[in-house]
């Protein structure tokens, strides 16, 4: 099973691949991405951030304090939240 999530180019709708990434912090990554449509050629820098926790970690890092997702307070389990 592939762990990759397919991103989409915001301009042409083709596949958009992350070519490289680096950690800005334990919960924030900066990435460089590229559209796979050669006729489009769009490239960009973006960010992926962990904002909320859906379930508590079994080995918590005391330096990481993410708020619990509001979705969990609405009767949804972590398995139902995507």
What is the pLDDT of the chain when averaged over all its residues?
87
Please name which of 37, 65, 36 lies closest in space to residue 53, comparing C-alpha atoms.
65
pLDDT over threshold 70, residue 1: no
What pTM does this model have? 0.68
CB 34 within 8 A of CB 43: yes
pLDDT tens figures, 30-55 = 999 999 999 999 999 999 999 999 98
Please name which of 14, 7, 59 lies closest in space to residue 31, comparing C-alpha atoms.
7
What pLDDT is stored for residue 71 in this prediction? Answer: 77
CA distances from 17 to 44, 71, 72, 74 (A): 10, 29, 31, 34
């Amino acid at each position: 099973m592939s762990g990759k999530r397919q991103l989409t180019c915001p301009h042409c709708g083709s596949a958009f691949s992350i070519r490289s990434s680096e950690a800005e912090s334990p919960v924030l990554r900066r990435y460089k991405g590229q559209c796979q449509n050669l006729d489009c050629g769009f490239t960009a820098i973006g960010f992926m951030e962990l904002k909320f926790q859906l379930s508590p970690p079994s080995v918590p890092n005391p330096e990481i304090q993410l708020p619990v997702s509001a979705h969990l307070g609405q009767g949804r389990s972590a398995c139902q939240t995507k």
